[in-house]
Amino acid sequence: MSHNASIPHRLIGQDAPPAPSLVRATFTVLWTPINGFLEWFGELGLFSWQVLRAAVRRPFEGQELLRQFDEIGSKSLPLVALAGAAIGFVLSLESRSSLVHFGAQSMLPAALVYSIIHETGPIVTGLVVSGRVGAGIGAELGSMKVTEQIDAIEASGVNPYKFLAFTRILACILVLPLLTMAADFCGVLFGWIAETAAAPVSFQRFVSQGFAGSSFKDFLAPTFRTLVFGLIIGMIGCFQGMRTRGGTAGVGLSATSSVVLSSLFVILADVILVKIILVFFS
């Protein structure tokens, strides 16, 4: 019986890529998102410079600015007020349940007013507006971009950075503090309603206890930090909309990315601004 059958031998490492190719592929995978991130920030910087240059030139587009005040401010007010009312009602219920355990229910008005005006009101307003206005600006300018309306505006001698971008950005900046104050008021009002349902107290007494030990200037910095939120929402919404590509699918992507990025940067800005306020205004 013959035992001379040939046995194939596998070549070790035959299918493994060369070491330089593996390193190059790994570097490409890691560098591609970083490069895209840096390119996005570079384009955002150039866009911001174009908007800033257009802002100081005539005409000032006052009629379009007033229209954006209505679109961004008046039409966002019901949603912002509802969000502030819900936050105030829930905070009052939750805070009372916790403070009763420690016999400190008399601290409820001060705790509620402080938490709403210092943190909850501004950040909730920023996120609500970034969801509604950011998506609206991104979709509106995106549709204008893919249908070449922005090119037509530019061809007619109107600066699109001034007429379309600057008016929306300025409206966001100026409207956010007003919307924040509306959310704060609704939060405090419905917090009082929730407290009155458990232990009747007059609104005047509730407010006087809530603001006891605090001055008006203590609430200026938390409220006016929403100016930065407005800048972020308006800038990112306009930027994402005016760089839209790819037809209707690109419009949807611009609206989605405007909401996601503006919300993310609002949260990051809030973290930084809270630290600055605690250092310089406490």
Average pLDDT over residues 231-258: 90
* Residue 13, domain member (yes or no): no
* Residue 15, domain member (yes or no): no
* Residue 244, domain member (yes or no): yes
| Residue 217 pLDDT grade (very low, low, confident, very high; cuts 50, 70, 90) | confident
Checking if the pLDDT of 136 tops 50, the result is yes
Checking if the pLDDT of 14 tops 80, the result is no
Nearest to 84 by CA among 236, 281, 273, 223: 223
* Residue 5, domain member (yes or no): no
Give CA–CA dist 267/127, Å, rounded: 8
Mean pLDDT rounded to a whole number for the chain: 85
Give CA–CA dist 272/117, Å, rounded: 17
For the chain, what is the domain count? 1
Can you give the pTM of this predicted structure?
0.84
Give CA–CA dist 269/151, Å, rounded: 33
Higher pLDDT, 138 or 1: 138
Query: What is the structure's pLDDT at 282?
Result: 65
| Residue 11 pLDDT grade (very low, low, confident, very high; cuts 50, 70, 90) | very low
* Residue 8, domain member (yes or no): no
Q: Are 262 and 236 in contact (CB under 8 A)?
A: yes
What b/e string do you get for 241-265 counting C-beta neighbours within 10 Å, with b at 16 or more?
bbbbeeeeebbbbbbebbbbbbbeb
* Residue 147, domain member (yes or no): yes
Checking if the pLDDT of 232 tops 50, the result is yes
| Residue 82 pLDDT grade (very low, low, confident, very high; cuts 50, 70, 90) | very high
Checking if the pLDDT of 221 tops 80, the result is yes
| Sign of torsion over alpha carbons 92, 94, 95, 97 | positive
| Residue 27 pLDDT grade (very low, low, confident, very high; cuts 50, 70, 90) | low
* Residue 73, domain member (yes or no): yes
Q: Could you read off the pLDDT of 177-213 as tens digits, one per residue?
A: 999 999 999 999 999 998 888 888 888 888 888 888 7
Higher pLDDT, 105 or 138: 138
Range of the domain at 140: 20-280
* Residue 62, domain member (yes or no): yes
